[in-house]
A and B are shown apart, each in its own frame.
Chain A
């Protein structure tokens, strides 16, 4: 059992996870000077979706989506469960791949990607085996070490802040609605947190919504600052604007290149995301097949993820193209369609069962 606060922090970090690294430049590319508005409405949408999930989990308390699927559809639920398992693995692999891409491009160009994957999987596996509390507490302890340096650096960077970069504002307010895949990633992926949801002591719903809201806020704030620091022209073109921002920060004349430290610290965000996803996948396996052992399945998952992370996409360009094409459909299927159907069938069944009792 984890506390409300821990769940809230998990939500925030999970949502920020890879977003800060991967999506920023695309957001700015599309939204130009008004880019900072896009995360806001995407977040609003995400909260709507979250409401649906909460409704679903409230309908049969203490059960995770997978268990609900079995309750709703019996054996067919197993298939749904497997679908979810694959989906979690997919996103997890994606997160892993983001780490290695990022590290390879920025500070460790020669290290083979799989090394990053394996190291992270080892640690994540160990953490997941220790159970839910460990995940919650780990995240709780790590968070200040993420928040503090990150925002300090952004504050320090504001020495070359320039309002001109954000002008003219509100040129094409509707342009920002074009980037639909932002709804899927990161916001719909937070569905993975619903595997943790039943483990929260109380008030998980509020924590989830609040977490999504504050995550959306902070993404938009980051986009805003990045735009104001690099200007839309550069930020839209640079692959990892965050990296450039921290790279150009200078503490006096002495400490000029602190980016590697910050990068390595920020990577932890992605680790948290991976952690939750691995946990979700692991839980799914457990709830579907009720195995007795823990380690072997994490080992298997690690093998699967480490492989999937390599083949998830061939090159960044293909990733961008396909991402735009499939993400939204893929996520909507898992996080809107199936839950809605489950909710529907549950309601129907309850209605049918309750009728004879009324007699």
Chain B
């Protein structure tokens, strides 16, 4: 390698080398600009990644009337970067290659012995759009996009504060993706920032294509159904969390931003809570809690009650349940299990289906599987009701990834209920609580502010107290814990 590069000079050979090393792709442009000093300045860029207007109006013109290269760019400038002409050819070539594939424009001025990399990155992508996974009625309709620059803008727009910090780093030996760490320097606890930074730096992987890649590397515990980092595509939510002193992690190429630390009860609060009247918000929050319990426990309790503890069911109801089950072949446990699985299949299919067919599918699911199965006496009506209820309640929770974990828990509990009835459910519940209290997210106990208890935070957990009643600019308990350390 070293030998081959011997005697090659940046001025003469670099352009050609780059072309060959990139396999002379169709979108590689290599122009020779003639300045009025009759010097030739080579200009290389991938024209699929760059903003042509910048190149034509700014670079080309400024080079041609020699306005450009006069002042050497200040070092540390993100946009214009100077490379020393004297540096070893090999390293220079590597940097230049990196720059080109990262959408920069390379200017080689052989006469003046200057090599400048100008950031003209402008990748094709979606414009700002409504968030898909967490829409709201009241509140901003903007969602993050795949373009990290736009996302930064969306955050800055909401927090006009000099102490808002963006730390950029490149992760992924192959993909070389841009990952950005965002926090408020005056609010975020130093320990937290350091922790996140070190965990990000510790990532050894070849590619990061979505924020979940990062999430899996930096979360505290792998073996848990619960998300320990909040992922959102709502700028306002992100801003709110940043203002609570939390740290956000953005990955270029995905609209999902990770926020750490996350506590259990934040999963039940949606940005909408703070845009609505306090009483309504509180009520809705309770609905969410209830539907969480319903989604997790309803089928298992049904199984337990109908196959182990029939005495629980009021006589009349029991009679009609029995009447429904006359001639149903499957045991209740299998019945529920089957229906749940079928339901999950329908839902999964519904996601993949093109919109138009989705309608048809839901009809098939509802009518054929519900109605027909009941009338054919394969499934008792009660089971269909239970499954439907759990299915609906599952969608109430505002965080999508949390909905997933609910589904997982539900099946476990059905198993336990089918195994030992209420006792099994009890054991499962105790296990769950033990797991939750032992869980930590970036050093913050998952169940704060419930356990460990900090009472003055309860006014924003089970209720959403009116803002005037809340203490102004008090960070949540989780962050205060970290500050204390």
Q: Does residue A101 face the partner (Cβ distance < 8 Å to B)?
A: no
Q: Does residue A260 face the partner (Cβ distance < 8 Å to B)?
A: yes
| Chain A residues with CB under 8 A of B423 | 103, 108, 111, 116, 119, 264, 267
Q: Does residue A180 face the partner (Cβ distance < 8 Å to B)?
A: no
Known A108-B308, A115-B420, A142-B433: A256·B314 in contact at CB below 8 Å: yes
Q: Report which residue of B314, B315, B433, B447 has the largest number of chain A beta carbons within 10 angstroms of its beta carbon.
A: B433
Contact yes or no, B420 A123, CB < 8 A: no
Q: How far is the CA of A268 from the CA of B420 in the complex (A)?
A: 15
What residue in chain A is nearest B424 (Cβ atoms)?
A119
Q: Does residue A133 face the partner (Cβ distance < 8 Å to B)?
A: yes
B residues within 8 Å of A by Cβ? Answer: 308-309, 311-312, 314-315, 420-427, 430-431, 433-435, 437-438, 445, 447, 450-453
| Chain B residues with CB under 8 A of A5 | 453
CB proximity of A243 to chain B, nearest CB, Å: 13
Q: Does residue A198 face the partner (Cβ distance < 8 Å to B)?
A: no
Q: Does residue A138 face the partner (Cβ distance < 8 Å to B)?
A: yes
Q: How far is the CA of A255 from the CA of B452 in the complex (A)?
A: 36
A-B pairs with beta carbons under 8 A, tally: 83
Q: State which residues 117-153 of A face B: CB under 8 Å.
A: 119-120, 122-123, 126-127, 130-131, 133-134, 137-138, 140-142
Contact yes or no, A120 B427, CB < 8 A: yes
Closest 6 A/B residue pairs (Cβ): A130-B438, A137-B451, A137-B437, A257-B311, A127-B434, A260-B309
Q: How far is the CA of A3 from the CA of B451 in the complex (A)?
A: 11
CB proximity of B446 to chain A, nearest CB, Å: 10
| Chain A residues with CB under 8 A of B311 | 257, 259-260
Known A141-B447, A141-B451: A123·B431 in contact at CB below 8 Å: yes
Contact yes or no, B437 A122, CB < 8 A: no
| Chain B residues with CB under 8 A of A133 | 437-438, 445
Q: Report which residue of A5, A108, A122, A259 has the largest number of chain B beta carbons within 10 angstroms of its beta carbon.
A: A108
Contact yes or no, B426 A138, CB < 8 A: no
Contact yes or no, B426 A264, CB < 8 A: yes
CB proximity of A101 to chain B, nearest CB, Å: 14
Q: Does residue A261 face the partner (Cβ distance < 8 Å to B)?
A: yes
**Interchain CB contact (< 8 A) of A138 among B309, B312, B437, B453:** B437
Known A108-B308, A261-B312: A141·B433 in contact at CB below 8 Å: yes
Q: Does residue A337 face the partner (Cβ distance < 8 Å to B)?
A: no
Q: Does residue A351 face the partner (Cβ distance < 8 Å to B)?
A: no
CB proximity of A144 to chain B, nearest CB, Å: 11
Q: Does residue A155 face the partner (Cβ distance < 8 Å to B)?
A: no
CB proximity of B250 to chain A, nearest CB, Å: 33
**Interchain CB contact (< 8 A) of B427 among A123, A138, A141, A259:** A123
A residues within 8 Å of B by Cβ? Answer: 3, 5, 103, 107-108, 111, 115-116, 119-120, 122-123, 126-127, 130-131, 133-134, 137-138, 140-142, 254-261, 264-265, 267-268, 271
Known A130-B434, A141-B437, A260-B422: A122·B427 in contact at CB below 8 Å: yes
CB proximity of A305 to chain B, nearest CB, Å: 16
What are 11 of the A-B contact pairs (CB < 8 Å)? A108-B423, A119-B423, A119-B424, A123-B427, A130-B434, A130-B437, A137-B437, A138-B430, A141-B451, A257-B311, A265-B426
**Interchain CB contact (< 8 A) of B312 among A122, A123, A260:** A260
Contact yes or no, B434 A134, CB < 8 A: yes
Q: How far is the CA of A256 from the CA of B426 in the complex (A)?
A: 22
CB proximity of A56 to chain B, nearest CB, Å: 29
Contact yes or no, B426 A137, CB < 8 A: no
CB proximity of B330 to chain A, nearest CB, Å: 22
CB proximity of A113 to chain B, nearest CB, Å: 12
Q: How far is the CA of A322 from the CA of B420 in the complex (A)?
A: 32
Known contacts A123-B431, A133-B438, A257-B312, then 8 further A-B pairs from the complex at CB < 8 Å, ordered by chain A residue: A108-B421, A137-B452, A140-B453, A256-B315, A261-B312, A261-B422, A264-B426, A271-B430
Q: Report which residue of A115, A126, A141, A268 has the largest number of chain B beta carbons within 10 angstroms of its beta carbon.
A: A141
Q: How far is the CA of A236 from the CA of B420 in the complex (A)?
A: 31
Contact yes or no, A268 B447, CB < 8 A: no
**Interchain CB contact (< 8 A) of B314 among A120, A255, A261, A268:** A255
**Interchain CB contact (< 8 A) of A3 among B422, B437, B452:** B452
| Chain B residues with CB under 8 A of A111 | 420, 423
Contact yes or no, B452 A268, CB < 8 A: no
Q: How far is the CA of A107 from the CA of B421 in the complex (A)?
A: 10
| Chain B residues with CB under 8 A of A116 | 423
| Chain A residues with CB under 8 A of B447 | 137, 141
CB proximity of A252 to chain B, nearest CB, Å: 10
| Chain A residues with CB under 8 A of B437 | 130, 133-134, 137-138, 141
Contact yes or no, A119 B309, CB < 8 A: no
Q: How far is the CA of A66 from the CA of B437 in the complex (A)?
A: 28
| Chain B residues with CB under 8 A of A256 | 314-315
**Interchain CB contact (< 8 A) of B433 among A131, A138, A265:** A138
CB proximity of B463 to chain A, nearest CB, Å: 17
| Chain B residues with CB under 8 A of A108 | 308, 420-421, 423
Contact yes or no, B309 A107, CB < 8 A: yes
CB proximity of A261 to chain B, nearest CB, Å: 7
Contact yes or no, B430 A142, CB < 8 A: yes
Contact yes or no, A123 B430, CB < 8 A: yes
What residue in chain A is nearest B301 (Cβ atoms)?
A261
CB proximity of A310 to chain B, nearest CB, Å: 18
Contact yes or no, B450 A264, CB < 8 A: no
| Chain B residues with CB under 8 A of A261 | 309, 312, 422
What residue in chain A is nearest B423 (Cβ atoms)?
A264
| Chain A residues with CB under 8 A of B434 | 123, 126-127, 130, 134, 138
CB proximity of B297 to chain A, nearest CB, Å: 12
Q: How far is the CA of A107 from the CA of B308 in the complex (A)?
A: 9
What residue in chain A is nearest B310 (Cβ atoms)?
A257
Q: How far is the CA of A127 from the CA of B425 in the complex (A)?
A: 17
| Chain B residues with CB under 8 A of A130 | 434, 437-438
Contact yes or no, B420 A140, CB < 8 A: no
What residue in chain A is nearest B428 (Cβ atoms)?
A123
| Chain B residues with CB under 8 A of A260 | 308-309, 311-312, 422
Contact yes or no, A141 B422, CB < 8 A: no
CB proximity of A256 to chain B, nearest CB, Å: 7
Contact yes or no, B427 A119, CB < 8 A: yes
CB proximity of A90 to chain B, nearest CB, Å: 23
Q: How far is the CA of A103 from the CA of B422 in the complex (A)?
A: 11
What residue in chain A is nearest B317 (Cβ atoms)?
A254
Q: How far is the CA of A82 from the CA of B315 in the complex (A)?
A: 54
CB proximity of A271 to chain B, nearest CB, Å: 6
CB proximity of A114 to chain B, nearest CB, Å: 12
**Interchain CB contact (< 8 A) of A264 among B422, B433, B445:** B422
Q: How far is the CA of A279 from the CA of B424 in the complex (A)?
A: 22
Q: Report which residue of A108, A123, A259, A267 has the largest number of chain B beta carbons within 10 angstroms of its beta carbon.
A: A123
Q: Report which residue of B430, B435, B445 has the largest number of chain A beta carbons within 10 angstroms of its beta carbon.
A: B430
CB proximity of B225 to chain A, nearest CB, Å: 15
Q: How far is the CA of A62 from the CA of B424 in the complex (A)?
A: 38
What residue in chain A is nearest B453 (Cβ atoms)?
A140
What residue in chain B is nearest A259 (Cβ atoms)?
B311
Q: How far is the CA of A111 from the CA of B419 in the complex (A)?
A: 10
Q: How far is the CA of A126 from the CA of B445 in the complex (A)?
A: 17
Contact yes or no, B314 A254, CB < 8 A: yes
| Chain B residues with CB under 8 A of A107 | 309
Q: Report which residue of A5, A107, A259 has the largest number of chain B beta carbons within 10 angstroms of its beta carbon.
A: A107
| Chain B residues with CB under 8 A of A268 | 426, 430
CB proximity of A14 to chain B, nearest CB, Å: 16
Q: How far is the CA of A69 from the CA of B434 in the complex (A)?
A: 32
What residue in chain B is nearest A131 (Cβ atoms)?
B438
Q: How far is the CA of A135 from the CA of B465 in the complex (A)?
A: 31
